[in-house]
Amino acid sequence: LKSNPSNNEEKEAQTQLTKSDELQRLHSQALSAYQQEDYEAAISLLDEILAVCVWDAELRELRAECYIKEGEPGKAISDLKAAAKLKNDNTEAFYKISKIYYQLGDHELSLSEVRECLKLDQDHKQCFSLYKQVKKLNKQIESAEEFIREGRYEDAISKYESVMKTEPEVPVYSTRAKERICHCLSKNQQATEAIKLCSEVLQLEPTNVNALKDRAEAYLLEDMYEE
C-alpha cells in the first residue's frame, strides 16, 4: 500500500497486520507451552490460531501431538487426517494415525493408514516396520475368527495365543484375545477354564458384554444357575 495508498485499504491492511502480529504472539506462546509440557494451554492457544489459519498443516500436527499427550487420540486423529490432506506426501501423518489406531486396538484401520504411508514412500522405515507387525497380527486375528465360524475352537484358541505372543506390549490385544479364547472354551464345553479366563477379562473390563455372556454359558454347563 505504500506505493499506492487509499484510505479504505489502509485501514484493512492495518487491521490485518495487527491481527497477524497477534497470531505470531499466540504462536510463540503455544510453542513455549508445548515445550513446558503444558499441553492444555498449548491446545487452547492453537485453537485460537487455527480458527484463523484453518489450512496450516504444521499447526494441526502440533495440536495433534498435544492431544496425544493429553490422552485424546480421537481428536489427534482428526487433526492428523487434515494434515495428511493439506501437505503433500505427508508420510509422517499417516504413520502417526496408523500408530494411534494400532494402540487403540483397531488393527484394520491401522493397516489401511500405514498402507497409505507406504504408497507415498515404499522405503519408509518406520511405516514398513509397523506394516509388517500390523499385517501379521491382522492375519492371525482373521484366521482365528475364521476358525471360530467353522467351529474349530482348538485351532482358534491356539491362533489367539499366537496373537498374544505377537503383541505383548499393547494390552487391548491380550484382553481381546482372552475374551475370544473364553468364548471358544465355553463353546467347547470346557466350563472351568472358560469361567477362569472370562473372570480375568471381567476384572480388566467389568462391563465386557461378551465375557459376561460366555461366562454365563459356562456357568450353565456347570449347573451354577445363581451365578
Using DSSP, how many helices (H) and how many strands (E) does the chain show? 11, 0
Q: What is the DSSP letter of 122?
A: T
pLDDT of residue 52: 93
pLDDT of residue 112: 97
The pLDDT tens digits along the chain (227 residues) read: 677 777 778 888 888 889 999 999 999 999 999 999 999 999 999 999 999 999 999 999 999 999 999 999 999 999 999 999 999 999 999 999 999 999 999 999 999 999 999 999 999 999 999 999 999 999 999 999 999 999 999 999 999 999 999 999 999 999 999 999 999 999 999 999 999 999 999 999 999 999 999 999 999 999 999 99
pLDDT of residue 158: 97
Residue 177's contacts (CB-CB under 8 Å, 6 or more residues apart) are 160, 161, 163, 164
